[in-house]
Amino acid sequence: MTIPVTIAAAAAKPLFSWPRHRASGKPAPFLPTSRAEMDRLGWDSCDVVLVTGDAYVDHPSFGMAIIGRLLEAQGFRVGIIAQPDWHSAEPFKVLGRPNVFFGVTGGNMDSMVNRYTADRRLRHDDAYTPGGEGGRRPDRCTLVYAQRCREAFKDVAVVLGGIEASLRRIAHYDYWSDKVRRSVLADAKADLLLYGNAERAVVEVAHRLAAGEAPRDLADVRGVALFRRVPEHYTELHADDLDSAEEGASRRPGDTVIRLPSFEQVEQDKDAYARASRVLHRESNPGNARPLVQRHGDRDLWLNPPPIPLTTEEMDAVYDLPYARAPHPMYGEAKIPAWDMIKFSVTIMRGCFGGCTFCSITEHEGRIIQNRSEGSILREIERIRDRTPGFTGVISDIGGPTANMYRMACKDPKIEAACRRPSCVFPDICPNLNTSHDDLIRLYRKVRETKGVKKVMVASGVRYDLAVKSPEYVEELVTHHVGGYLKIAPEHTERGPLDKMMKPGIGAYDRFKAMFEAAAKQAGKQYFLIPYFIAAHPGTTDEDMMNLALWLKKNRYRADQVQTFLPSPMATATAMYHTGVNPLRGVRHGASDKVEAIKGLRQRRLHKAFLRYHDPDNWPLLRDALKEMGRADLIGSRPDQLVPAHQPPGTGKAAGTRRPVRAGTPKTQRFTTKGVRMR
């Protein structure tokens, strides 16, 4: 039965209310990574061994540290195997046979996004590896690690988690192989998959497995995916008939499950893929979501509804766990770029109700904002001040998936529990959304008053359509929390692609820019906005990119680096890219809303070139395109024209060649623009 989120949250077993698995045991300085460390702790075995594609940094910004410390607090002995050599099973035996289960994750990023660019080129660095060295994890490392764990100890349960598993929990389009792949649970031959921020699920799974239950017995745990038969007493709602407008949205009494189009269907039929994506995203509210089932061959993949969000008290307890707040000593003096980036930053909330179709945050963390208390945040800042080497008094970021959704929520819990909107802010801000920034302003002020803190930066992306609702917040932000530049993400200027992204119109950006500049002037500061834009997003035409380039030139923006749309697993925009169908609207054979997908290499390069209209290396491509579009009038040296007719010697071929700036040329703003944010 559907349980309203307020009732469900009250009924959810509190995270720290389980009896400890082991009655005694002190927190380890670091979770052990070797037998020698286990011996020093007096352990003969680990209860849980966590395998991760990231270096082991014992800090709450790293998923395995959170899960490891949480299970340690539950009385389990937890070991970490970080970035093992995957070519054999031997490195997976280093801590011995775990008593309860192996937990496997690709790390803080999907391994394919981590290893390859949007043009499918291999990256040679990895921010989550000592020395930034690339190649320390395999492609699809969740799958590979799980198989090696199974080889190492055949009788031990294997549980998948983290963003890679979360975004590949059903049959999904894989951009790097250009095909639809099965759920990672099937290919990895694992027992369970925990999706989303899985604290509540992993605690229950650990205790029940330790008590002797089999993985197949855990089909009632929220946020869990496993293979099982549909129980006889369940009513199936069929969303797999693509000749029918029925998408399983109707409500029925009793226990119901929605049958998605099967793996075989979505592999062969793009309408079926778009339908599956639409239904999965619709059933994402913990207050009203129902189980989903998807056939894979002769087995049914069962997905339970999303986990109940953590309360503020539970969030505080998770972030107050005894993290060492440092990389494991085995790395010595080696730099871990991701650690260097976040060691002076503070996460204050989780989740995002923006629903941007190209982004994977919502699919993983959910739309309901989970907040920490002021006290917990201030305690962490004091720990940074007192325990983190190199702290100079500057908090590098205070935020989360966005900078300014802290403590925002639906005004009515009953409406929130019943809502199925994919976004609270598109096409307009929902009138039921509380957009007050008062709590965040108060938090900023208290953080600034903390002894030893000289400056607090806001580096997380500001949701500007919310910020304009609070002039006081914009003034507070600009006066105290901007260090010369502030990044925001309009992503485009044209309505066509913006609608496919579920982003507000450029008018909201213009309003925020005016408020930002007025606040900067009042504060006597010279600050700049850094706008992010995406090239080649589904639903974008060549004309859209041309108009964006003209807007950039008019506003004297020059992008040094740009981001081409990267179809990340399970994102709504990825469904658009793969299928050419818009899953934001009803999907059926012969009656689907079509979307132009930019797939050809030349067109993707052209869209990227429009964002770098000022680069002489792009001018030959842009001239040819403008002529083909009937816009040769934009070729010339006038201010209202996009590219000049002449080509400087030595340019037009070698990437990165820059044209010298002539004396007297109006100053333009350079910025870095990115489009895909995965956490």
Do the Cβ atoms of 106 and 163 come closer than 8 Å? yes
Q: How far apart are CA 574 and CA 79, in angstroms?
A: 36
Residue 106 neighbours by CB distance under 10 Å: 33
139: part of which helix (H) or strand (E)?
A: none
* Among the listed residues 292, 182, 286, 180, the one whose alpha carbon sits nearest the alpha carbon of residue 234: 292
Q: Are 253 and 328 in contact (CB under 8 A)?
A: no
Please count the other Cβ atoms lying within 10 Å of the Cβ belonging to residue 24: 6
- Whether 569 contacts 556, CB under 8 Å: no
Residue 430, marked binder = no
Report the Cα 525 to chain-centroid distance in Å.
33
Closest CA to 396 of 447, 358, 432, 433: 447
Residues 6+ apart with CB under 8 A from 401: 349, 350, 351, 352, 361, 365, 460, 677, 679
SS (H, E, C) 397-432: EEECCCCCCCCCCECCHHHHHHCCCCCCCCCCCCCC
Residues 417-451 as b/e (b if ≥16 CB within 10 A, e otherwise) read bebeebbbbbeebbeebebebeebbebbeebeebe
How big is the CA angle at 417 (ends 11 and 570), to the nearest 5 degrees?
A: 100
Structure-token pair, residue 539: 């639903």
Q: Please state the length of the chain.
A: 679
Please check if 356 is assigned to a binding site.
Answer: yes
CA distance 501 to 497: 6
Tokens encoding 637: 């040296």
- DSSP for 431-442? TTB----HHHHH
- 519 touches 479 (CB < 8 A): yes
Determine how many CB atoms are found less than 10 A away from the CB of residue 486.
24
- The Cα–Cα gap between 408 and 362 comes to 15
Burial class (CB in 10 A: 0-12, 13-18, 19+), 488: buried
Whole-angstrom distance, CA of residue 392 vs CA of residue 388: 10
Query: Is residue 267 helix, strand or coil?
Result: helix
Q: Please state the φ and ψ torsions of residue 64, each to the nearest 5 degrees.
A: -65, -30
Known binding-site residue numbers:
352, 356, 359
Known binding-site residue numbers for [4Fe-4S] cluster:
352, 356, 359
